Amino acid sequence: MKYTEDHEWLRVEGDYIVVGITEHAATQLGDVVFVELPEVETQVAAGDEIVVIESVKAASDILAPIDGEIVEVNDELAVTPGLVNEDPTGRAWFFKLKVDDLDVLDQFMDEDEYNDLIG
């Protein structure tokens, strides 16, 4: 698994990259009450706002970590947004991206580097 400075995790699953937020980010957000997901087949560029999360504390956006195409979204989050707090690195993934080259993940942090970041 790789990590971004925006507290997202990235995991390779077959030919796709699965994207979610870290436990640290979920804790900082507080109780998540709403998740708005992107449309499948949407082309995204790194830095695009893709997901809107609302919690009892704040609203936040999940940004595209890399260029790609949304190939699947986790519809379960629209019905049960609290999954983000219950299982942020498992069942609460947000979307899957198809990218041209999985080597793009090399630019992101590994777990030790991420743990240093959140110290």
- % of the chain exceeding 70 in pLDDT: 100
d(C-alpha 73, C-alpha 44), whole Å? 14
Sign of CA pseudo-dihedral 61, 106, 18, 22: negative
Domains defined for the chain, CATH in brackets? 2-101 (2.40.50.100)
Residue 29 — pLDDT band, cuts 50, 70, 90?
Answer: very high
Predicted TM-score of the model (pTM) = 0.93
The 10s digit of each residue's pLDDT in 47-90 is 999 999 999 988 999 999 999 999 999 999 999 999 999 999 99
Q: What DSSP letter does each residue of 21-61 carry, written as one string?
A: E-HHHHHHH-SEEEEEPPPTT-EE-TT-EEEEEEESS-EEE
d(C-alpha 23, C-alpha 45), whole Å? 25
92-104 mean pLDDT? 95
Whole-number pLDDT of residue 54:
96
